Amino acid sequence: MIGLVIKSVGNLYTVKSDNLLYKCNYRGKNKLDNNFSNPIVSGDEVEFDLIDKENGIIDRVLERTNCFIKRSLKDKKAHIIASNVDQALIIASFKNPYTKLNFIDKCIAGSFYYNISPIIVFNKVDSLSNREIKKLDDIIKIYNEINIKALKISAKKNLYIEELEYILKGKKTLLLGNSGVGKSTLINKISKVSNQKTDVLSSKTGRGKQTTTFSEIFEIDISGTVTDTPGFKDFYFFDIDKSSLQFLYPEFKMRDKCKFKNCLHKDEPGCSIKESLGIEVNEKRYNNYLSILSEIT
C-alpha cells in the first residue's frame, strides 16, 4: 500500500491512505543511512504492509521532491524537518518573543537551498504600538524589495488572515519559527480539525515554551496543508557550505562583478557586494550573511 506520513512521534508514524489512518513502524533497513537522525518524516510518501486493520510496517520511503534539513545538535547528524512541501512559512514576532532577523535569514537561506519558496509572516501585530508597527513595516519592506513575500497578521485577533489564506490555498506549507510566536494559534484558526495546545511565554526568560513536540500535517479549510513542527531557538545548517551561502541571497546578483571569482564578500578587495551596501544590498541582511558565514566556517 502507498500512504502519506502525516505525523511522526519517535519511531511511530501515522500514515494516511485512502482516507484511513494507520499506525506504523518501520523496518530496520530504513536505518541504513547513518547521516540522518530520523529516516522518515511528515510529508513522506511510503510503501507499507498491513499487520491488521489499524497497524502496519513501513517498507520503503518513496523519492522526495525536497526536504528541509537542519543539523542535530545532539549527534551532529542531519535532522529532516519535513519533506515534499511547496513553501515555508517563517512565522516571526516583533516582540513577546522577539524573532532575530538572523534566524529569519537562516530560514530563508535554508528554504532556497532545498528548493522551497520562503514566506515571512510577522504575527501578534495586535500587541504592537503605532511606533512598533512602523519599525515592523520597515523590516517587511527589506524583504519585499528582494521579492521575498513578507506580511503581518494577528492569529489571535484574526487580523489580515484572508491574505495569508490566499497564499496558503492549495499549497503544501511547512511552518518554521521560534517557540512562542503563535504557530499553534494560527493552525487552530485555519485548519479543519486542529486543537493544538497553546501556552504563554515563560515568565523567567520571556521566550516561548515549546508546546509542539513532533511534526504533524493538518488540512486547512481553504484547501491545502500545513506541517507544524516543534519551535526552535536557532538551528545550524547540515550541508550548506560557505561557498554556497552567497547564492542563497537573491540581492547578491552582482557577485559576478567581484574582482575574485571565489570572493566570499567578507574582506576581499574589489568586492561588488560590499560596494553595493546601502544601495542594492541591505546592511542588516549583509551583517547576517557575515554572521552565518562565520558560523559555517
Backbone angles phi, psi at 48, to 5 degrees: -145, 155
pLDDT of residue 206: 45
Q: Where are the domains of the chain?
A: 2-63, 70-75+81-228, 242-296
Asked if pLDDT for residue 194 goes beyond 80, the answer is no
CA distance linking residue 69 with residue 240, whole number of Å: 10
pTM assigned to the model: 0.90
Contacts of 169 by beta carbon, 8 Å cutoff, 6+ apart: 222, 223, 224
Contacts of 133 by beta carbon, 8 Å cutoff, 6+ apart: 125, 152
Outline where the chain has alpha helix (H).
Answer: 101-113, 130-144, 161-168, 183-190, 242-245, 272-275, 283-296
Asked if pLDDT for residue 104 goes beyond 80, the answer is yes
Q: Largest Cα–Cα distance in the chain?
A: 67
Class of domain 2-63: mainly beta
Nearest to 292 by CA among 97, 110, 35: 110
Stretch 207-220: mean pLDDT = 68
Contacts of 163 by beta carbon, 8 Å cutoff, 6+ apart: 151, 153
Percent of the chain with pLDDT over 70: 91
pLDDT tens by residue, 42-53:
999 999 999 999
Q: Which CATH number fits domain 242-296: 2.60.420.10, 1.10.40.50, 2.60.40.420, 1.10.760.10?
A: 1.10.40.50
Outline where 145-269 has alpha helix (H).
Answer: 161-168, 183-190, 242-245
CATH of domain 70-75+81-228: 3.40.50.300
Confidence band for 18, pLDDT divided at 50, 70 and 90: very high
CA distance linking residue 183 with residue 166, whole number of Å: 17
